[in-house]
Amino acid sequence: SRAQVAPAARAPIPRPASTPALQISSIKSDNVTRACSFIQEAATQGAKIVSLPECFNSPYGTKYFPEYAEKSTQKISKVAKECSIYLIGGSIPEEDAGKLYNTCAYRKIHLFDIDVPGKITFQESKTLSPGDSFSTFDTPYCRVGLGICYDMQFAELAQIYAQRDCQLLVYPGAFNLTTGPAHWEVLQRSQAVDNQVYVATASPARDDKTSYVAWGHSTMVNPCGEVLAKGGTEEAIVYSDIDLKKLAEIRQQIPIFRQKRSDLYAMEMKKP
3-class DSSP assignment, residue 24: coil
55 belongs to the catalytic site: no
Of residues 54, 94, 124, 185, which has the active-site annotation? 54
Which residues are paired to 116 by β-bridges?
120
Residue-wise over 109-146: b if at least 16 C-beta within 10 A, else e? bbbbebeeeeeeebebeebbbebeeebbeebebbbbbb
Long-range contacts of 127-131 (CB under 8 A, 24+ apart): 127/62, 127/65, 127/66, 127/100, 128/62, 128/65, 128/93, 128/100, 128/101, 128/102, 129/99, 129/100, 129/101, 130/101, 131/101, 131/103, 131/106, 131/107
Of residues 48, 94, 108, 124, which has the active-site annotation? 108
Of residues 36, 83, 149, 166, which has the active-site annotation? 149
234 belongs to the catalytic site: no
249 belongs to the catalytic site: no
Q: Pick from 62, 51, 66, 59: which is nearest to 31 by CA?
A: 59
Kindly give, in sequence order, each residue whose CB lies less than 8 Å from that of residue 221, ignoring residues fewer than 6 positions away.
Answer: 185, 188, 189, 192, 198, 199, 200, 227, 228
Which residues are paired to 96 by β-bridges?
99
Kindly give, in sequence order, each residue whose CB lies less than 8 Å from that of residue 134, ignoring residues fewer than 6 positions away.
Answer: 106, 145, 157, 160, 161, 164
Give me the active site residues, please. 54, 108, 149
